[in-house]
Structure 1
């Protein structure tokens, strides 16, 4: 009897704590980074039940022709809170949403914007259509209750490399590849703000689940040639220079070279997980976990490529 009473009291205590904590909220606050341009700054962590998947830097541009939204976040709840926060900044209606790639934090808030066009590169649309259900289920496992009510909604409007105009803002849509098979960067030529999509990380270790490193490095060179005043990376700190491009290139070059050398030496993948990482990368968020994930993502193919070809 005493055990039952103790268990009941423990349950009440847990319920009281949950009620005191209140409903889950991302507490989104837009940060103005340039004329008419705002970003919701995410953490440099990985998805967790503590952050609800809020690890991206989605944003919006207020134009005379309506609001342009760039990424919708990791859940329906995030998208709804994002839209409410935008309404506090401007009464202008949402004109269009752009989604940069198929990773979950870019588009799982799409339900909150289902009444407006949601645009992406054809490769992103195809990727979400093929993998969207599995991606959503995985996010439920990673962040739990934050995902309640979230269903995969793929973009429906394909876009290509072009320049579009909304009010006084000229947006250059830049199709890229490397981080995934299709990455959309957006340069506002009117303000010099680059939303770099998935291709640039800033003080955060790059992620590689869909990466082609050689193509990715080539795209970084293309971005570095642009006239950029403010750089919004997909993850990490917003910059007023191009240092994050060089930082991302440095990491990818070291990572690819190290894995290829290890494969040439015949080293087993398990040996690499704790290998030393140069001190210059010590400031990157999620350094060791993302390195280990990249080993798992990239090393099997590199290892296969290093094997001697059988004579025909």
Structure 2
């Protein structure tokens, strides 16, 4: 009942709110953490691209308070964001942070590792995410951070995870079971989900979208993404899903913003190819159904081009 009420309040449309403004001026965080379920919190980032104003906090930084320490999900986009999240954790509990879990290898998931490593905290990531971070995403993300965040990038360096896993890692902290999962190929290499089975909460990362348009990268297998979502994520039966970006919500809402979008784009691009269309024309397939999603202007045409390249020779 508490979870249902929380979701109803969280999903209600805000009255005259400006979603681009900083919701927590006293902190470098875009917004303060909210309790998603008992003992599970998330600082919900902006659903716009990273900017100086949001300091790169445009993804969700979550944590679980157990009887034997705190597990953090996402290192954050910078030293200062990780430090600010730690300050919020300390307001809620005296328990030490014992583990950080990176949800993928992108800069906003791992660049804050530099802060957590300096605190002596263990950092866990999927082996493919760790490789992507060191090979390309880390250096590219750090360069971008220094450009847009300016002084808020200070102290941030590239620090890899201290541990990696392949398929799953089960962790028990006090009386809390935490399942760290790689359900399969989806949005980016080493996508990681954190499942709390006793509370029916899934911190899903970037396999799941609702408010923000899913970005599709070169090399992303969108048909694999759909299959992983439908055959591995949905059967978990999560009551609350914390996506990588945007407010915690339910499975139906996540399904609409993720696999329904991907299937619709597949259908539009498939028809375009069948009609003899080329890449230039693919950018203009009708995606108006999804115009309500944040980052539509930045991502829709690019997504169409990537999916065209993926489907062209199927």
TM range (shorter): 0.7 to 0.9
1:296 positional shift = 4.2
Q: Equivalent residue of 1:202, what SS?
A: coil
TM-score (norm 2): 0.83
Distance, in Å, in 1 between the alignment partners of 2:265 and 2:257 is: 12
**Unaligned 5+ runs, structure 1:** 1-21, 307-312
Task: Answer yes or no: is 1:203 the counterpart of 2:208.
Answer: no
Provide the residue aligned with 2:241 in structure 1. 231
Provide the residue aligned with 2:223 in structure 1. 214
Q: Give CA-to-partner distance per residue, 1:77-124, whole Å, 9 cap, x none.
A: 111111111111111111111001112211111111001110011111
Give the greater-gyration-radius structure (CA). 1
1:273 positional shift = 3.0
2:304 aligned to which of 295, 307, 310: 295
Q: 2:111 touches 2:159 (CA, 8 Å); kept in 1?
A: yes
Provide the residue aligned with 2:169 in structure 1. 162
Provide the residue aligned with 2:3 in structure 1. none
1:128 positional shift = 1.0
Provide the residue aligned with 1:12 in structure 2. none
- Structure 1 segments of 4+ aligned residues over 6 angstroms from their partners: none
Q: Equivalent residue of 2:236, what SS?
A: coil
Provide the residue aligned with 1:127 in structure 2. 132
1:301 positional shift = 4.0
1:277 positional shift = 1.5
Provide the residue aligned with 1:152 in structure 2. 158
RMSD of aligned C-alpha atoms?
2.1
1:47 positional shift = 1.7
Q: 1:28 touches 1:85 (CA, 8 Å); kept in 2?
A: no
Q: Give CA-to-partner distance per residue, 1:168-188, whole Å, 9 cap, x none.
A: 111122213221121110110
Q: Give CA-to-partner distance per residue, 1:220-275, whole Å, 9 cap, x none.
A: 11211112121100011211444212431000111223223323434333333343
Distance, in Å, in 1 between the alignment partners of 2:26 and 2:202 is: 34
Provide the residue aligned with 1:265 in structure 2. 275
Provide the residue aligned with 2:179 in structure 1. 172
Provide the residue aligned with 1:96 in structure 2. 99
Q: Equivalent residue of 1:39, what SS?
A: strand
Q: Give CA-to-partner distance per residue, 1:188-218, whole Å, 9 cap, x none.
A: 0121110002100112100112521011001
Provide the residue aligned with 1:136 in structure 2. 142
Distance, in Å, in 1 between the alignment partners of 2:162 and 2:279 is: 40
**Unaligned 5+ runs, structure 2:** 1-24
Q: Equivalent residue of 2:132, what SS?
A: helix
Q: 1:57 touches 1:234 (CA, 8 Å); kept in 2?
A: yes
Distance, in Å, in 2 between the alignment partners of 1:154 and 1:171 is: 22
Provide the residue aligned with 2:48 in structure 1. 45
Provide the residue aligned with 1:33 in structure 2. 36
Provide the residue aligned with 2:19 in structure 1. none
1:252 aligned to which of 262, 274, 291: 262
Provide the residue aligned with 1:283 in structure 2. 292
Change (3 A) 1:291 1:123: same
TM-score (norm 1): 0.84
Change (3 A) 1:296 1:147: farther
